[in-house]
Amino acid sequence: MKTTIKRLVLIALCMMMVFSLCCCKKTPSNDSVNSTVSNPVINIDDDTDVSSEGVSSDVTTSEDTDSTVNSDTDTDSTTSSNNSVIGSVTSSDPSDVASGNNSSGNTVIENTGDDTPTTSTTTNTENGHTITATYEWHPGLPDTNISYPITILVDNAPVNASQVTLSSSTSGVSFSGTTVTIPYSVRAAGKTITVTAKHSSGAKCDIIIPCFKYTQTFNDDFNGTTLDRTKWSEHSSLTTTPPADAASYQVIDRAKSVKDCFEVKDGKLNMLIKDQPCYDTANKIKYLYSECCLDTRGNFMQTYGLFQANIACAKFGGINTAFWLLPNGSYSTQYTNFKSEDPRWGLAEIDILEASVAFGNKDRKTFCISEHYYNYKDNYDHINEGKYFKVKDTITNFHTYSCVWTADALYYYVDSDLVRSTTGLQAKSAGGKSVQRAYMIIDVALYLDNAWVGKRDFTKSDLPIAGTVDWVRAYKFK
């Protein structure tokens, strides 16, 4: 009898251990986003036809687009962003809350990988010597020249630039020491450039530099006095008209997006924070302020390409000015890319710009680039991989924020400068999921006081407060 009891106890312990192991959740490695790969892969996607108005005709109707842009709950963190660390998002600065998609209990991991573009290395042995040429590739932007510094090693040792000669059969390519400069007039052809590096020993190798040709698919310069409704949509169901039972509503001291909370004048779009209460009649909530959120969902979406906006951010703390991309479909369940290291993790939100003058100890220069990943195989666990960067003057001046989205990488630019790249991505999931077309969102958002975008430093007499957009553009690779 005792022997039987002991056996039963051992079996129960084994079953408990197996159950514990099965319940453990796996999270991806911190450096999976920025792993270095050789020989950049260019993914040209031609699934979007451009109409005569410059807007893609490959558009999903509003009935097919069930993403909820303003699905945030009111669980804003009260931690100030004054402790933000330039170059990483840490738990001391809870900017894991996506603009318009605030949620609690998110996991924030610090991205420890280097934010560098794709590394391309060429090695060749000739005349008894081995020559290696390495450079950091990125696609660049339209109407800009790109310079690629080339690192040359001969027999695994650095060499003086005077010992190396660079040449190319492509007209217009220029050289200074071991730096190659390709003007946009050459890049615009969309052809691969071959550069030959020859050392004084006679060793030489060819360096392959892919070039993107951009074709514009979307443009809004906000000329005139009205918003172009063929390009932009508003999806708010809130009303600014007080309902009969408004006195019984819960009151929350923040803003929510409402329709027509903007003005178009002087060739610019002013997205406004207004001293105007709005009402969520379904949940019986009164928000003390109104804000603006516009998107191209149902009007313009595309897979891969370049997305740009020229924006001057709001001048007061407590307000987030944002430019971002969402894949078509329900939030957190549809993706633009998947992590190559663990394809269960899908990229569900690309924040090209999130900015508050309270970031960076109120230096008025700091903004954030974030990527939100969800594990659709493991209860939709969420990680935010974000980093902070600085503009040269102030975010309240106009700057162009850009993202080049390819099947295996993302490249972020401010004006013409590359500031971050994310590699180690792919277009296929761990099974059953595929890449979706994305649409653009621009907005200003007023959060609870002293939340992740900092303490409010304005008075009601300063309202309305604007985040201003000069233009928005998108391009395809051709």
| Contact in structure between 209 and 119 (CB atoms under 8 Å) | no
Measured distance CA(390)–CA(181) in Å, rounded = 25
β-strands 285-291, 425-426 pairing: unpaired
Six-digit token string for 416: 């013409």
| Contact in structure between 118 and 137 (CB atoms under 8 Å) | yes
Task: Give the single-character DSSP code of 462.
Answer: G
Q: 162: buried, middle or exposed (CB in 10 Å: 19+, 13-18, 0-12)?
A: exposed
Q: What is the pLDDT of residues 25-53, one digit of tens each?
A: 333 333 333 322 333 333 434 344 333 23
Helix boundaries (H) for 24-138 = none
- 468 pairs with which residues across the strands? 270, 312
pLDDT value of position 117: 53
| Contact in structure between 58 and 437 (CB atoms under 8 Å) | yes
HEC string of 145-212 equals CEEEECEEEECCEECCHHHEEEEECCCCCEEECCEEEECHHHHCCCCCEEEEEEECCCCEEEEEECCC
170: phi then psi, degrees, rounded to nearest 5: -85, 120
| Contact in structure between 120 and 285 (CB atoms under 8 Å) | no
Q: Which amino acid is at 137?
A: W
User: How many residues appear in the chain?
Assistant: 478
Task: Give the single-character DSSP code of 20.
Answer: H
Q: What is the pLDDT of residues 59-106, one digit of tens each?
A: 332 333 333 333 333 333 332 222 222 333 322 222 222 333 333 222
Q: Coil, helix or strand for 128?
A: coil
| Contact in structure between 411 and 291 (CB atoms under 8 Å) | no
**Nearest CA-CA partner of 293 in 394, 439, 427:** 439
Percentage above 70 pLDDT, the chain: 76
| Contact in structure between 163 and 200 (CB atoms under 8 Å) | yes
Measured distance CA(395)–CA(341) in Å, rounded = 35
| Contact in structure between 346 and 429 (CB atoms under 8 Å) | yes
| Contact in structure between 16 and 9 (CB atoms under 8 Å) | no
**Nearest CA-CA partner of 409 in 394, 421, 393, 395:** 421
| Contact in structure between 406 and 424 (CB atoms under 8 Å) | no
Positive or negative, the Cα torsion across 152, 154, 158, 160?
Answer: negative
Measured distance CA(12)–CA(96) in Å, rounded = 41
Run means of pLDDT, 10 residues per run, the chain, 478 residues: 46 42 34 32 38 30 35 33 29 29 28 50 88 95 96 95 96 97 96 96 95 96 97 96 98 98 98 98 98 97 98 98 97 96 96 97 97 95 97 98 97 97 94 92 97 96 98 95
Q: What is the pLDDT of residues 438-472, one digit of tens each?
A: 999 999 999 999 999 999 999 999 999 999 999 99
- If you search the block for the tokens 């710009």, which residue do you land on? 353
Cα end-to-end distance, the chain, whole Å: 78
| Contact in structure between 358 and 84 (CB atoms under 8 Å) | no
pLDDT value of position 385: 97
Measured distance CA(80)–CA(448) in Å, rounded = 11
pLDDT value of position 125: 87
pLDDT value of position 478: 78
Average pLDDT, the chain: 81
Centre a 10 Å sphere on the Cβ of residue 12 and count the other Cβ atoms it contains.
10
Task: Give the single-character DSSP code of 144.
Answer: -
Q: What is the pLDDT of residues 445-454, one digit of tens each?
A: 999 999 999 9
pTM listed for this prediction? 0.78
Six-digit token string for 435: 């890449």
